[in-house]
Amino acid sequence: MKKPVVLSVVLLLVGGAFGNFLRFADNPPHRPAHFGEIPYEEDGYQGEEHRFSEYSYEILKADTTTLRLYHGPSDDSYWLFIAYFDSQKYGSQIHSPKHCLPGGGWQILHHDPYDLRLPDGVTKRVNRLVIADRGRRQLMLYWFETRGGAIRSEFGLKWDLVMNSLFLRPTDAAIVRLTLPIDEEQGGVRGATERAEEYFNVFYPDIQRALPFTS
C-alpha cells in the first residue's frame, strides 16, 4: 500500500475517533437556568405564565422554558419566551425563529440587525423582525445567549458550539425572544422597538441572573 493511501486512512481514523470523542464528551454546566429569578411584577409590568401545546415542547426539546405574557404600564402586551438547553449535542439544538415562524403561518416582512441598548451601557446586537399573520403585524427581538455572550446568527451559534466542544466547555445555550404588537398610532415599528427596549431595561438584569452564563 502506498504511503499517501496509508496516511489518508490514518487521518480518517484519527479524525473519526476525535469527532466521536467530541460528540460524547461533555462538561455539564455548574447550574441550570432558574427562571424563577425573573419577576412577574416589576416597575408597573404585570405578567403571567402561559404554555405552548405539549407537541411544541416535544419538538423544541429544551430543558427549561418560560413563556410569559406581560402587560405594561400603558397596558401594552409583551410576550417573553426563553428556552434553555443544557447541552446542544444530542438532538436538542435551538430552533431558529426564522425557520419556525413560516411553519406557524407567520410571514417575515422585515429582518435586520439591531443594537439593543441595555442597562449599565451594555449593547447587544440582536435580530429585529417584523412579522405578520392575518393582518396583524408584530415586532420580534431575539438572540441566542451562550457562555461566549450574545449571538445573533445561526451560523455563529454553530461555531460557538464547535469551539466549546473543542475546548471541552459546557455547550449550553438559550434563546431569548420578545414579541409585541405594532401599533401605527404608537409610532409603528420605531415605537414598538422603543417599548421593547424599555421592557428589557427593566427585566434584562433578571434574565441575566436567571441564565447560568455569568457568575
**CATH number of the structural domain spanning residue 170:** 3.40.1000
Q: Is the dihedral of CA 27, 28, 30, 34 positive or negative?
A: positive
Residues 54-88 have pLDDT tens digits of 988 888 888 899 999 999 988 899 999 999 998 76
Within 8 A by CB and 6+ apart from 30, the residues are 170, 212
DSSP 93: P
Residue 165 lies in a domain: yes
pTM assigned to the model: 0.83
Residue 205 lies in a domain: yes
Asked if the model's pLDDT at residue 49 lies above 60, the reply is: yes
Asked if the model's pLDDT at residue 11 lies above 50, the reply is: no
Residue 58 lies in a domain: yes
Lowest mean pLDDT: which of 14-18, 34-38, 203-207? 14-18
Residue 156 lies in a domain: yes
Residue 17 lies in a domain: no
Q: How many domains does the chain have?
A: 1
The whole-number average pLDDT for the span 87-113 is 80
Residue 15 lies in a domain: no
In angstroms and rounded to an integer, the radius of gyration of the C-alpha atoms of the chain is: 20
Residue 2 lies in a domain: no
Residue type, 57: Y
Q: Tell me the residue range of the domain where 123 lies.
A: 29-210
